[in-house]
A and B are shown apart, each in its own frame.
Chain A
Amino acid sequence: EPEVTQTPSHQVTQMGQEVILRCVPISNHLYFYWYRQILGQKVEFLVSFYNNEISEKSEIFDDQFSVERPDGSNFTLKIRSTKLEDSAMYFCASSEEEREQFFGPGTRLTVL
């Protein structure tokens, strides 16, 4: 069964460093998403991406964040200068239509 994959599973970085989280969505899906979950809190929407551009973003998704689909398979989330409060589980999701989203296993980001 097709699935969304994410790498790495765990990323540890120093405050102020740049990180890139990678996702491979399901191959025939057209809509891509990033969500995050700070430990013990709700899963929160960050950004959605369709047709090679951001279609929607939340208040959390500020100038420190960017997304890219560099080739036909990968979808990346870049955090330019990480802060302690960026420590969270980051989930990538994809969907064929705009409703039923399929999630990857997540990347745990730890900022020291």
Chain B
Amino acid sequence: GDSVTQMEGPVTLSEEAFLTINCTYTATGYPSLFWYVQYPGEGLQLLLKATKADDKGSNKGFEATYRKETTSFHLEKGSVQVSDSAVYFCALIMDTGRRALTFGSGTRLQVQP
């Protein structure tokens, strides 16, 4: 079945460091891809999305490009802040068939001042 694999955390960075969180997927069709973020004590918030190959989603300085050839959707940010400390989830949803999100296991990011 469809699945999402994320790099294990925690990822610990200093403020202003470059961030990459790897995400790869397995799907039988053409999914839409998402990054959700969960700040401490809060729910899941949609961070960015991409609905087709080569699309780039971006929001709040974060970016991710839908790479069909490598089945990847890596999350990047050029300069992280302490306030970016959270758990990041990569997820997919298929164009047809099942309409539920399939999530990765989440990656905890800790940014130190």
Contact = CB atoms under 8 A, between A and B. Distances in A.
A56 B49 contact: no
Contacts of B49: 99-100
Interface residues of A, number: 25
B103 interface: yes
Interface stretch (A11-19, A65-73, A78-86, A103-111): A103-111
Contact of B100 (A4, A58, A106): A58
B97 to A, nearest CB: 9
A102 B45 CA distance: 7
B46 A102 contact: yes
A105 B98 contact: no
Interface in A25-45: 31, 33, 35, 41-45
Given A48-B100, A56-B98, A98-B99, A41 B105 contact: yes
Contacts of A4: 43
Contact of A103 (B44, B93, B106): B44
Given A42-B106, A43-B89, A99-B32, A56 B46 contact: no
Interface of A: 4, 6, 31, 33, 35, 41-45, 48, 55-56, 58, 91, 93, 98-106
11 contacts: A35-B101, A43-B101, A43-B106, A45-B102, A56-B98, A56-B100, A91-B43, A98-B99, A99-B32, A103-B44, A105-B43
